[in-house]
Amino acid sequence: FEKYFSSLKNFDELKILILGLGDIGQKLAQKLNSLGAKIDSFSRTTKNLRFINKEIRLSDSNTKLEVYDFIVSLLPDNESTKDILDFNFFKRLSKNAIFINAGRGNTVLEKDLIKSLNLGSPKLALLDVIKNEPLSIEDPIYTHPKTIVTPHIFAFSPSYWESEIELFENNLNF
């Protein structure tokens, strides 16, 4: 605890960038904003939501990505998002930033993420989705000390297995 104490922040001190403002992105932004976090977003369309401070363009090189504590990607899978999160994106993040991808694996150019992590930015990458699944145990995404890979369970809840069993039974009887 003491090791990390100086880097802890209250929610009202956090600046979070959410990439992708579909249903999940909007719900996340609203909940984090209600806790006091400052939320900016990237979306293809302007949403004008009261709980979003600023909507940004990733392609604008003047956008200051180094100000964000967390970057949460919930981007969809389409041609305009393929490999959009590349070295030019990651190198602009703060050395203390935490990158989370719970959207789609093909939005991240993984070799560029590894290169950026090796150069010290972001501090950590939490990946619930990856480009090529299943992931090899030797893959740098899996073995890198600054990555945490989860098995596509970011949506886990206390009723997860109950819902999964119900879905399985429904599909089995289909």
- Active site amino acids: 104, 133, 152
Please check whether residue 15 is in contact with residue 36, taking contact to mean a CB–CB distance below 8 angstroms: no
Count of CB atoms within 10 A of residue 78's CB?
Answer: 12
Nearest partner of 125 among 101, 143, 106, judged by Cα: 101
